């Protein structure tokens, strides 16, 4: 029987040709204000946010809940004003000077024994979670089981593509919210929402389309991952 874990939703914006950033891996700021509001709504609905270290390095910050109605809803639901923001990294290689560490949020680090070594005894992270596989990588499945045990029931995954790929391969994703933005980025090396080794078409995870909406030039797609 599968271990209990939070309900997990991937939330990403991508170009019309399926890229989440350009070939230089610049911070992706091509989404509209409507897309940012959508992302904030998904964050506000979550108990925790999971961000890959590479995504955090690119942006230097995370998106916090600021809309008064969303903040009010969290208070009514007896939730903290902000969800916990969890950075996942095998190496623990992060710059402690980035603005992320000044934002008014709880910060947790999900890493390996080696990745935790620099951060032990420091104040940047409120909690350090060490879950490690036998190969020395972060054990995401075990970490999500732990999160469920401390009443984190909804988790938003904000990228990047390698993290999403690894979580799909472990069957840890329940839903996708994908925003299609009206530009073409191209580039053989430009990241997509799901990186990794990929799946053969006959073995690929399948999705059920739950919802489609358009706001001006953007399309918002809501998918549920099919369970076999």
What the block records as the tokens of 49 is 């946010």
| φ and ψ of 209, to 5 deg | -80, 120
Task: Give the pLDDT of residue 1.
Answer: 56
- Please give the structure tokens belonging to residue 225: 């991952």
DSSP the chain: -PPP--EEEEEEEEETTS-SS-TT------S-HHHHHHHHHHHHT-SEEEEEHHHHHHHSS------HHHHHHHHHTT--SS-EEEEE-SS----TTSGGGGSSS-EEEEE-HHHHTTTTT-SS-SEEEE-B-TTSSB-HHHHHHHHHHTT--EEEE---HHHHHHHHHTT---EEEEEEES-----TTS--SS-SS---GGGS--EEEEEEEEETTEEEEEEEE---
Can you give the pLDDT at residue 76? 96
Which residue is it, tokens 């430009």? 190
Residues in the chain: 228
CA 11 centroid distance within chain: 7
pLDDT at residue 165, rounded to an integer: 96
Global model pTM greater than 0.85: yes
* Per-position pLDDT tens, the chain of length 228: 567 999 999 999 999 999 999 999 988 889 999 999 999 999 999 999 999 999 999 999 999 999 999 999 999 999 999 999 999 999 999 999 999 999 999 999 999 999 999 999 999 999 999 999 999 899 999 999 999 999 999 999 998 999 999 999 999 999 999 999 999 999 999 999 999 999 999 999 999 999 999 999 999 999 999 986
DSSP code per residue over 122-139: -SS-SEEEE-B-TTSSB-
Per-residue confidence (pLDDT) for residue 3, from 0 to 100 = 78
Q: Report all structural domains of the chain as residue ranges with CATH numbers, in order of start.
A: 7-11+29-225 (3.40.430.10)
């Amino acid at each position: 029987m599968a271990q209990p874990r939070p309900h997990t939703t991937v939330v990403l914006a991508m170009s019309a040709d399926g890229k989440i950033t350009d070939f230089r891996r610049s911070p992706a700021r091509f989404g509209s204000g409507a897309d940012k509001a959508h992302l904030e709504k998904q964050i506000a609905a979550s108990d925790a946010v999971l961000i890959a270290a590479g995504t955090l390095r690119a942006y230097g910050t995370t998106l916090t809940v600021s809309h008064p109605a969303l903040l009010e809803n969290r208070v009514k639901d007896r939730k903290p004003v902000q969800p916990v923001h969890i950075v996942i990294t095998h190496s623990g290689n992060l710059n402690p000077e980035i603005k992320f560490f000044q934002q008014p949020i709880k910060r947790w680090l999900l890493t390996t024994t080696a990745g935790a070594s620099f951060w032990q005894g420091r104040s940047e992270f409120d909690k350090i979670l060490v879950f490690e596989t036998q190969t020395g990588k972060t054990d995401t499945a075990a970490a999500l089981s732990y999160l469920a045990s401390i009443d984190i029931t909804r988790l938003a995954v904000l990228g990047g593509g390698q993290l999403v790929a690894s979580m799909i391969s472990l069957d840890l994703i329940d839903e996708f919210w994908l925003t299609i933005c009206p530009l073409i980025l191209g580039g053989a090396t430009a990241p997509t929402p799901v990186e990794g080794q990929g799946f053969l078409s006959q073995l690929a995870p399948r999705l059920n389309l739950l919802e489609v909406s358009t706001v001006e030039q953007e399309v918002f797609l809501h998918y549920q991952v099919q369970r076999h």
